[in-house]
Structure 1
Amino acid sequence: MGKFILTDVFVEVNGVNFSDHVSSVEVSVSHDEVDVTSFSGGGRERLAGLRDDSFTLNFQQDFAVGEVDATLWPLFSNKTEFTVKVRGTSAAISTSNPEYSATCILLEYQALSGSPGDLSETSVTFPAQRSGIARATV
């Protein structure tokens, strides 16, 4: 299997393509760990519980109309659910370029961060609602 270098990641939040404003991406999927250890076992036993998935995106902040802050602030303020989509490249969805998507909610938003002379960036975590992140190949 070939190696994969991230150079052309596709990122969409609430229908807005932010591929040109995102400098890092993380798609995290997990299950809660439920301890079901009983007295009859010789050690711990676990089952997979509820899903707890999320996207973490590092945005290069932009306050222009239709850009980062103008999109994220209303989602946070209005407690609105929205869709996040991420692909390894901007090419079409395929078996070699799956799309990860979920209905998300924005619970925390750091609108401005940095020191003198720094690029204004904000790291945002988008928790997936209900069924978690889906993976599509077509």
Structure 2
Amino acid sequence: MAKMVLTASYIALSGTDLSNWANSIELSAEVDEKDVTTFGSGGWKEVLGGLRSGTLAIEFKQDVTASALDSIMWPLFGTVVTFEVRLANAAVGTSNPKYTGSALVKEWAPISGNVGDDASVKVSFPTSGAVTRATS
């Protein structure tokens, strides 16, 4: 089994590469569990998958200089945007698949932190529609 250390992942929102500002990324997907147990189930619970959903969570190092992170993210607040994430900032392939979809930019915290902290922004965006995996 291959092992991997994340050193240069790729994250793009609305077609803009934000990898230089991100230091943490998580794309998760889940499916609703629907109970379809009947009297004929022999006393065992039966389930099927229902609606699927996902979450894109990112931690950014804030940058409010002109044309930097905050000026890119603020106009996206409240909109559904496309995203693409990869484990490595390298060509897409069988050992580096890309995951794409759309997500609602439902939160943005331009100012967050305590005295002496780095200026970081942690966000979590729900996906909207299908998330796809591709190797080409």
TM-score, normalised by the number of residues in structure 1: 0.90
1:85 matched to 2:79: no
Quote how far apart the aligned CAs of 1:25 are: 0.7
1:101 matched to 2:93: no
After superposition, the CA RMSD in angstroms is 1.3
Q: Pairwise mapping of residues 1-80 of structure 1 onto structure 2 (< 5 A)?
A: 1-41=1-41, 42-76=43-77, 79-80=78-79
Point out the more displaced range, 62-71 or 110-119: 62-71
SS at match of 1:30: strand
Quote how far apart the aligned CAs of 1:39 are: 2.8
SS at match of 2:81: strand
Quote how far apart the aligned CAs of 1:104 are: 1.2
Please give the alpha-carbon distance, in whole angstroms, between the structure 2 residues aligned to 1:66 and 1:135. 30
Q: Which amino acid aligns with 1:10?
A: Y
Quote how far apart the aligned CAs of 1:37 are: 2.1
Please give the alpha-carbon distance, in whole angstroms, between the structure 2 residues aligned to 1:23 and 1:2. 22
SS at match of 1:29: strand
Please give the alpha-carbon distance, in whole angstroms, between the structure 2 residues aligned to 1:57 and 1:94. 23
Q: Which amino acid aligns with 1:37?
A: T
Quote how far apart the aligned CAs of 1:12 are: 0.8
1:120 matched to 2:110: no
Aligned partners of 2:36 and 2:47 also within 8 Å: yes
Q: Which amino acid aligns with 2:106?
A: L
**Structure 2, unaligned stretches of length 5 or more?**
none
Please give the alpha-carbon distance, in whole angstroms, between the structure 1 residues aligned to 2:118 and 2:93. 34
SS at match of 2:76: helix
Quote how far apart the aligned CAs of 1:110 are: 2.4
Please give the alpha-carbon distance, in whole angstroms, between the structure 2 residues aligned to 1:44 and 1:70. 51
- Counterpart residue number, 2:132: 134
Matched-pair identity in %: 38
SS at match of 1:82: strand
SS at match of 1:7: coil
Please give the alpha-carbon distance, in whole angstroms, between the structure 1 residues aligned to 2:15 and 2:54. 20
Kindly tell me: are residues 66 and 33 of structure 1, through their superposed partners in 2, closer, same or farther at Cα, counting changes over 3 Å? Answer: farther
1:16-42: CA deviations, max 9, x gaps? 211111111111011111122223321
Kindly tell me: are residues 111 and 43 of structure 1, through their superposed partners in 2, closer, same or farther at Cα, counting changes over 3 Å? Answer: farther
**Structure 1, unaligned stretches of length 5 or more?**
none
Q: Number of residue pairs matched?
A: 135
